[in-house]
Amino acid sequence: MYGQFNEVKIIKKIYEKYDFPKTCIEFGAYDGITNANTFYFWKKKGFKSLLIEADQNLFKLLEKNVNQNCIIVNDFISRKNSLNKIIQKYNFPKKVGILSIDIDSNDLEIFKQIDHSSTYIVIIEFNNQFPVWADYEDPKDYIVFRHSALAVVKFATKNGYRLLDVRGSNLILVNQNNLVLPDNIYPNKLEDCFDYQEQKRACKDIRIIGSKFTTNAKIFSEKPTIFLRLKKFIFQLTLVINYSLRGKKIPSNKIPESCKKRILDAGLYI
């Protein structure tokens, strides 16, 4: 009910004290309940909700779990099929109180395309295996290492948002153009609220950076020793074995040249 990392508890406190539209959008919505950032609001508080899930099997579960407050959509969000188009297609209200973006993919690219004049609170996933200081985003049309927290925060800040908190691999952003909150509830900087404990759990070794689901390639946050390269190889081999045993397609361990340049520019190592 309260999200994967208790993100909803943070937003619930804002909702109890400040006014914003009783509307929410979530994609991917999964089954509408598991780790959902909007479930509490459409279930308990009557928010009008637009839930988007591309996977057909998950969408069938979503259909069973929603109530009359929800519009559900079985579709992909992409540059061509933007969120703005889906909002217009289903005549959903323009003002979005809570927007949750979690597609384990090019979340930041999708975030860049939305109508920022319409949002109030945004929850967006990032790759929390990147160190807090790394400014990295995959090149356009690539989904490999995805994007770091800093890359999202930099873009968001330029577009009127302010970082409210970090929970696990999710950033909580407030659009200051639409929702004015006291300065003292915000952290001074990303480093002050970054979830270092969850980063350690995700990485196993924070010197070795990968991206769950999208690649079996690994890069480094410091110049790698022979021992560190060996450890990287063990991590990669473990993934291959696990995926093979489950009959799943093994992600590539190749790093495109355009990604390599951005990795090095971000102060990371290959």
Residue 256 belongs to a domain: yes
Half-sphere exposure of 39 (CA within 13 A, CB side): 19
pLDDT at 212: 87
Is the pLDDT at 229 greater than 70? The verdict is yes
Q: Are residues 126 and 174 in the same domain?
A: yes
Residue 62 belongs to a domain: yes
Angle value at C-alpha 118, between 116 and 122, nearest 5 degrees: 70
Residue 72 belongs to a domain: yes
Q: Are residues 132 and 239 in the same domain?
A: no
Q: At 1, is the pLDDT very low, low, confident or very high (cuts 50, 70, 90)?
A: low
pLDDT tens sequence across 3-25? 788 899 999 999 999 999 999 99
Report the pLDDT averaged over residues 112-128: 96
For the record, the structure tokens of 2 come out as 């309260």
Element (H, E) at 210: strand 208-211
Is the pLDDT at 141 greater than 80? The verdict is yes
Residue 85 belongs to a domain: yes
Is the pLDDT at 215 greater than 90? The verdict is yes
For the record, the structure tokens of 171 come out as 């950033």
- 24 φ, ψ (degrees, to nearest 5): -150, 150
Q: Are residues 141 and 174 in the same domain?
A: yes
Q: Which long-range contacts (CB under 8 A, 24 or more apart) does 147-150 make?
A: 147/106, 147/107, 147/108, 148/266, 149/190, 149/194, 150/190
Half-sphere exposure of 116 (CA within 13 A, CB side): 17
- 76 φ, ψ (degrees, to nearest 5): -95, 145
pLDDT at 28: 82
Q: What is the CATH number of the domain that holds 158?
A: 3.40.50.150
Q: 212 or 174, which is more confident? A: 174
Is the pLDDT at 79 greater than 80? The verdict is no
CB burial of residue 111 (10 Å; 0-12, 13-18, 19+): buried
Angle value at C-alpha 40, between 98 and 15, nearest 5 degrees: 50
The b/e string for 92-102 (b: 16+ C-beta within 10 A; e otherwise) is beeebbbbbbb
Is the pLDDT at 124 greater than 80? The verdict is yes
Q: Are residues 183 and 214 in the same domain?
A: no
Residue 1 belongs to a domain: no
* End-to-end CA gap in the chain: 40
Mean pLDDT of the chain: 94
Q: Are residues 211 and 156 in the same domain?
A: no
- Domain of residue 161: give its range: 7-198
Q: At 81, is the pLDDT very low, low, confident or very high (cuts 50, 70, 90)?
A: confident
Is the pLDDT at 2 greater than 70? The verdict is no
The contacts of residue 248 (CB under 8 Å, 6+ apart) are none
Tell me the residue type at 196.
Answer: Y
Q: At 77, is the pLDDT very low, low, confident or very high (cuts 50, 70, 90)?
A: confident
pLDDT at 27: 86
In the chain, the number of structural domains is 2
